[in-house]
Every structure is written in C-alpha cells, then in structure tokens.
C-alpha cells in the first residue's frame, strides 16, 4: 500500500562556485513499501572502530543471524558483538527480561575484562515489547562503573535504514564527552572512518597548520574528545543528523561543506575547515595541492570510462546524493534518479546544489513504482540494496550494492579512484559478459 508521492521544493541557497544550480530542485516524496537493511548493520563497522567497545544486541534469532552473516566473515579475533536472544517467554511477558539482561551482562563482563564501553542495542522485538534499554543502561552503568560504561541506542528496522544505526550510536556517545571549557578552537571530524583514512586526514590537517583535530568516535572509549562552544565540527558522513543535533546542543558549530568524496568533494570539505580556522589560501593550496592533483590524475582514466553513462540510485545508505554529486561533477556520469531514504537538505545542501538540474531526487520509497521508473529509463548502472540487485541483474541491468560503499574506504583524495572504480567495475563486468 502506498499513499503515493508528492513533490516538494528544496529551499534556495547560495550556488557553488562552478555550477549553474540557482533553480530549486523538485523532490519526489514516496511512502510505500521499502527494501532496506536495519540499523544493526552499523555494528559491522562500528565494532572495528571503537576497539574497547562491545555491542550487545537485545533481539531475536533473526537479529542474531543478520549480524552473524553480515559480520561473521570479517571476524578474525573474538568478536566484539553478540545477541542476547529474546525467547518466546520474554516476548510473551512471562519472564523478567531485565533480570535476564542483567545476568547476561554480568557474565559477559566477567569473561571479557577488555570491554570498557558496552552498548545495549535495541531491535524491533525489544521495541515491540517496550523493553526500556535506557533504564537498563543506566542501572548497569551504575553497577559496573567506573570500569565499564553502559550506553544504549536503537538499531531497529522499524521506519529506519541501516546507516541510522551509526547515527544513533554516535548520538548516544555525545553526552559521554567531557565538556570543553577551552577558548582555543578545536576541529572535530565526525563519523566512523577507517583508521587509514583518518590518518590521511590527520596528516593533511597538520600540513594546513591545524593540530587541534580529533575524531569522533575515537578509537578507544577513554579518548572521547572534549566538546563545547569552541568545537567546530565537520561531518564525514551525511547520515549523522541526530549526532549533529546533539553536538550543536553542546554548543559546537557545524561547518557546511560537500562531503569528502572525490577530489573536488574532499577539497571543498578541507576548505571549509581552512576558512573557519583562518588558514590562508596559499597555505591551503600548498597543503592540499599535491594530494588533490594525485587524485585528479587517478580519476582521469576513470572519467574517460564513465563519462556519459547513466546511473539510477535506489534509496539505501543515505550517501546517494553526495555520491551522485561526485559521479556527475567529477566523472561526467548522468544521475537519472537519486533516491535516498531520508533527505536532510541542510546537511546536504552543498552536494544537492551541485547535482545536474535534470536529476530526479526522491526521498523514501515505493519500491514497485521506483522499479517501474528504473526499467523505463534503462540506466547503464543501478545502485541498490542486495534484495534488488539480483533480480535487476537477471533483467540485464548492471548493479552496484550500496552497502559496499559503506564498508569500503571511500573518503578523501587517496580513495577517490577506488571509489570511482567501485562504479566502473560492474560496468566492465557486464561489458565482458556481452562479448
């Protein structure tokens, strides 16, 4: 069932330097059947990022299977996630779920003294029976502090998409940050990035003359940076709406920029920091120039390959608008439709303004209608979730799994060509099949 779609207008904002984008863009809003993963998926990359954290999903066997199959192949050491499985007795209210949860946490912490931060992660079943995990987290934190902090967030798939798991997790971490009373300005980079990307960013900021730079989430839970009115923050991911709100409530200021995908996107992102911290154009160019030139050289052959190819995004990761900006602005691809589960126009304004005027922007999903539009437009490449990829491949379309874009290092200058290659590869594979 669907309530159909409606068009809305993007509020006008100052156009970016080199695009003729003064016209507001129409947005198709749909609220029908959707095909997306749930927020538990974020645990797959978050448990590798915060190295002394543990994620305990309070959910069903389905939740356990999802996490196990999504993350299982990547586990080389003892995993830092598990599921406290709710049985029928819990769901029927015949057992005291809180008592059982306390027992499980007790056992877990006794067996794993390396855990310093424990996330209780809510799921659809825990939300349906209204198990109050925030009270459970407060109770368990009081019992196990100061050695272990216990926080909670929701990874449920009820009306959410999979990247919201990271947003909810990081938003729950903000109150744990010490309050900064410093006057000197700090820069905070927000969003879970692979360590290798973080190190590259740190080096470039240092070359620009910025030393007071921290990353959120930190690699260890004891190193959460202090946050306050002196904090300027740059989002590294476009899906961190709640986290941004929590940081702003702490007095921090968000720096608006294109997201750091591709050479131009990364340059735009770094330049937002340069402007906010009064770095001269000369110093900025000196610091960023070589990495930017390297990225542009690496992208040149991919531009020749991808130029003019059409692409259709189904909503999944919330990265879609900034990836479409990268592919059109830097590689000459033609985004026909850019679907995204939720559209935060404020966070994404610089990327949205750089999209081609003829691109259809859609928010939410009515999967059957969207499939009809996709088939009618016959794009060269479709970016979609796993559930749609196989049927569309069978119909002869080249597809890219959107979830891979969240698992792979794709940010910044050094990953620009790798990111472009993720889109070029399915086209090469399909061209190879036709020979």
Which residues in this chain contact ligand SF4 in the complex, by CB under 6 A?
A: 38, 40, 59-60, 62-63, 66, 123-124, 155-157
- Residue among 120 and 124 whose Cβ is closer to ligand SF4: 124
Q: How far is it, in rounded angstroms, from Cα 183 to Cα 55? A: 35
The values of phi and psi at residue 215, to 5°, are -120, 145
Task: Report residue 9 CA to chain centroid gap.
Answer: 25
The CB-nearest residue to ligand SF4 is 157
Q: How far is it, in rounded angstroms, from Cα 167 to Cα 191? A: 8
Q: How far is it, in rounded angstroms, from Cα 423 to Cα 187? A: 32
Least spacing, CB of residue 404 vs ligand SF4, in Å: 19
Using CB atoms within 10 A of its CB, is residue 252 exposed (0-12), middle (13-18) or buried (19+)? Answer: buried
- Residue among 158 and 249 whose Cβ is closer to ligand SF4: 158
Q: How far is it, in rounded angstroms, from Cα 391 to Cα 378? A: 14
Least spacing, CB of residue 86 vs ligand SF4, in Å: 10
Using CB atoms within 10 A of its CB, is residue 35 exposed (0-12), middle (13-18) or buried (19+)? Answer: middle
Least spacing, CB of residue 159 vs ligand SF4, in Å: 11
Least spacing, CB of residue 140 vs ligand SF4, in Å: 21
Q: What does DSSP assign to residue 380? A: S
Least spacing, CB of residue 347 vs ligand SF4, in Å: 25
User: Rounded to 5 degrees, what angle do the CA atoms 291, 295, 299 make?
Assistant: 170
- Residue among 37 and 259 whose Cβ is closer to ligand SF4: 37
- Residue among 124 and 299 whose Cβ is closer to ligand SF4: 124
Task: Report residue 212 CA to chain centroid gap.
Answer: 24
Q: The tokens 């050289």 sit on which residue?
A: 297
Least spacing, CB of residue 41 vs ligand SF4, in Å: 8
Tokens of 422: 């993720």
- Residue among 155 and 260 whose Cβ is closer to ligand SF4: 155
- Residue among 62 and 345 whose Cβ is closer to ligand SF4: 62
Least spacing, CB of residue 132 vs ligand SF4, in Å: 17
* DSSP, residue by residue, 307-357: TT-EEEEPSSSS-HHHHHHHHHHHH--EEEEEEESS--HHHHHHHHTTS-T
- Residue among 156 and 365 whose Cβ is closer to ligand SF4: 156
Least spacing, CB of residue 245 vs ligand SF4, in Å: 23
31 — alpha (psi -120 to 50), left (phi > 0) or beta? beta
Let me know: does 319 contact 301? Beta carbons within 8 Å: no
- Residue among 59 and 350 whose Cβ is closer to ligand SF4: 59
- Residue among 86 and 392 whose Cβ is closer to ligand SF4: 86
Least spacing, CB of residue 43 vs ligand SF4, in Å: 11
Least spacing, CB of residue 38 vs ligand SF4, in Å: 3
Q: What does DSSP assign to residue 116? A: -
- Residue among 63 and 190 whose Cβ is closer to ligand SF4: 63
Q: How far is it, in rounded angstroms, from Cα 292 to Cα 304? A: 18
Least spacing, CB of residue 129 vs ligand SF4, in Å: 12
For the chain, how many helices (H) and strands (E)? 17, 15
Report CA Rg, the chain.
22
CA dihedral sign of residues 421, 427, 432, 435: negative
- Residue among 44 and 197 whose Cβ is closer to ligand SF4: 44
């Amino acid at each position: 069932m669907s309530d159909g779609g409606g068009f809305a207008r993007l509020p006008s904002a100052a156009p970016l330097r080199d695009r003729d984008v003064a016209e507001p863009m129409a947005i198709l809003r749909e609220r029908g059947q959707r095909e997306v993963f749930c927020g538990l998926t974020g645990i797959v990359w978050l448990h590798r990022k915060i190295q002394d954290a543990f994620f305990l999903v309070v959910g069903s066997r389905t939740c356990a299977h999802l996490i196990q199959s999504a993350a299982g192949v990547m586990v080389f050491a003892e995993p830092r996630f598990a599921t406290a499985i709710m049985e029928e007795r819990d769901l029927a209210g015949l057992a005291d779920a809180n008592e059982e949860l306390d027992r499980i946490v007790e056992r877990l912490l006794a067996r794993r003294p390396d855990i310093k931060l424990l996330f209780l992660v809510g799921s659809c079943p825990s939300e349906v029976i209204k198990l109050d995990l925030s009270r459970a987290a407060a109770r368990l934190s009081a019992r196990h502090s100061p050695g272990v902090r216990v926080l909670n967030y929701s990874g449920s798939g009820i009306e959410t998409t999979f990247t919201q798991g990271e947003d909810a997790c990081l938003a729950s971490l903000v109150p744990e940050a010490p309050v900064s009373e410093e006057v000197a300005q700090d820069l905070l980079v927000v969003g879970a990035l692979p360590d290798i990307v973080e190190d590259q960013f740190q080096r470039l900021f240092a070359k620009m003359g910025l030393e007071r730079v921290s990353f959120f989430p930190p690699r260890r839970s004891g190193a959460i940076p202090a946050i306050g009115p002196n904090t300027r923050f740059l989002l590294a991911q476009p899906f961190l709406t709640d986290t941004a709100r929590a940081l702003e409530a702490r007095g921090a200021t968000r720096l608006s920029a294109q997201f750091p995908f591709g050479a131009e996107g990364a340059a735009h992102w770094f330049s937002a920091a340069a402007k906010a911290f009064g770095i001269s154009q000369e110093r900025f160019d000196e610091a960023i120039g070589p990495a930017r030139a390297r990225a542009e050289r690496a992208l040149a052959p991919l531009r020749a390959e991808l130029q003019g190819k059409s692409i259709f995004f189904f909503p999944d990761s919330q990265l879609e608008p900034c990836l479409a900006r990268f592919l059109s602005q830097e590689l000459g691809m033609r985004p026909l439709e850019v679907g995204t589960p939720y559209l935060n126009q404020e966070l994404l304004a610089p990327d949205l303004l750089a999209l081609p005027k003829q691109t259809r922007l859609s928010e939410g999903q009515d999967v059957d209608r969207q499939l009809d539009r996709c088939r009618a437009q016959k794009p060269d490449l479709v970016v979609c979730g796993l559930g749609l990829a196989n049927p569309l491949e069978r119909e002869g379309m080249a597809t890219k799994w959107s979830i891979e874009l969240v698992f792979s290092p794709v940010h910044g200058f050094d990953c620009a060509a790798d990111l472009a290659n993720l889109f070029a590869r399915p086209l090469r594979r399909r061209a190879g099949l036709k020979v």
